[in-house]
Amino acid sequence: MIMLTIDIETARRFILGKQGLWPGRRWRGFKGTEHAMRTMEYLQLDPLQIIARSQDISLYSRVVGYKPELWEDAAYKQRKFFDWGGWLAARPMEELPYWRVVMHRERDGGYGDSRLRQMAKEHAKAIVEVRAILKDRETVGNRDFEATDRKKTQSYRGRKDSALALYYLWRIGDVMTHHRERFERVYALTENVAPKELIYEKTQEEADRFLVEKEIRFGGITRIQRTGDSYGRGEPDRAAKKLLENMLADGGIIEVKVDGWKTTQYALAEDEKVISGLSAGRIPKAWKPVDTTTTEEAVFLAPLDHVSARGRAKELFDFEYVWEVYKPEHQRKFGYYVLPVLWGDRLVARFDSKLDRTTNTFIILGFWLEDKALAKDEAFAEALARGFARFVNFLGAEKMDAKAISYPLLRKTAISLF
């Protein structure tokens, strides 16, 4: 059994690199988008579009030349990915046989969201009706059902029984997302979306091991937190412990101790050489950027980016980050849609912004440094300006309003590129 001991810098660089964020963007265009999505393991999806949707910002930060919604082409036109889950994310299509095990656990009531099982009971008639309609029609969306003809519901998943019926069938794997219209799912029977050879189920044991490996690959170095999501057999914590012990014994995973972290972490055994190399100052050749490094050009992270969301920013970067979009205005410390700024391998600042679509202007609403000394750092000022220039281009804006940046050098340098 292997136990690595590393410092926080090595852990941070490995996790950033594992997620395709450091030392710089390593992919380009549409093909690069597909590679990035696979490397990320999960592309979490969110409907909010303030300046851009979180999933598009995640890919902008990893792919040179990324344009909003390229991920949808990969998922719904090329059928390389499918979206699914109460924790909504795009996943590689070839993983479908593993996820169908989890879908059917939900269907059979072994685990999962009790509200889903209640949904099946309360809307059984609508589920039968919608299933029959899907057999007759290629695609069906919730908008195809008139509200006046449907039973009303109070669920946040939908206000019509037809919406809940479609959602239920999607969660249990009978239907899949065919495409999206204004981000709303349009459904089709699974056999009309997924390749025929992938519509089957792995064994329970194969699925459990895959899901643990997937979770570790996603985190890079992780404690394995979402055990209920991964196992779903009624005793997820106990099942997780046993499976982790087996995987440690057979050499599939290793233990990692990070200086300053109380809990032992796990990593894939195949990543041992990369982690050890980083600890010795060696960056993998496969991580070589195709464009600027994050030291040469600052990168802005999506609000739901795995490396910084849900408290990970504090753990990895000693950077307090909370997405305040769902907080009442008077409770917000920074702003509605604040993004962290990655420079090198550290989070050094944050900003709130909006896109004025009337004037096609990207407007900074607030900008905050972690270390005020960076206000006079010319290297950082230039890297930040390059970051804003690429970000404005990604958004399709024509101008940038940086008056809210209170630091003269940073504001002047940012404006100079427009």
Note the pLDDT tens digit of each residue in 283-333. 999 999 999 999 999 999 999 999 999 999 999 999 999 999 989 999 999
Helix axes 124-136, 114-122, angle to 10 degrees: 80
Distances, alpha carbon 20 to alpha carbons 42, 112, 316, in Å: 12, 31, 16
The mean per-residue pLDDT over the stretch 38-61 comes to: 97
Q: What percent of the chain has pLDDT over 70?
A: 92
- Determine the pLDDT at residue 147: 47
- Determine the pLDDT at residue 259: 96
CB 201 within 8 A of CB 104: yes
Sequence-separated (6 or more) residues with CB below 8 Å from residue 239:
208, 227, 231, 233
Q: Is the pLDDT of residue 49 over 60?
A: yes
Please state the pTM of the whole predicted model. Answer: 0.94
How many Cα atoms within 13 Å fall on the side-chain side of residue 58? 29
Q: Which of 12-21, 120-129, 235-244 has the lowest mean pLDDT?
A: 235-244
Q: Is the pLDDT of residue 110 over 70?
A: no
d(CA 252, CA 248): 6
What DSSP line would sit under 391-415, residue for residue?
HHHHHT-SEEE-TT---HHHHHHHH
Q: How confident is the model at residue 149 (pLDDT cuts 50, 70, 90)?
A: low
Q: HEC profile for 53-95?
A: CHHHHHHHCCEECCCCCHHHHHHHHCCCEEEECCCCEEEEHHH
Tell me: the pLDDT tens digits for 87-104? 999 999 999 999 999 999
Sequence-separated (6 or more) residues with CB below 8 Å from residue 39:
18, 19, 20, 62
Q: Is the pLDDT of residue 134 over 90?
A: yes
326 against 12, higher pLDDT: 12
Q: Please, what is the average pLDDT of the chain?
A: 92
Q: Is the pLDDT of residue 222 over 50?
A: yes
- Determine the pLDDT at residue 292: 98
Q: How confident is the model at residue 226 (pLDDT cuts 50, 70, 90)?
A: low
- Determine the pLDDT at residue 118: 84
- Determine the pLDDT at residue 165: 92
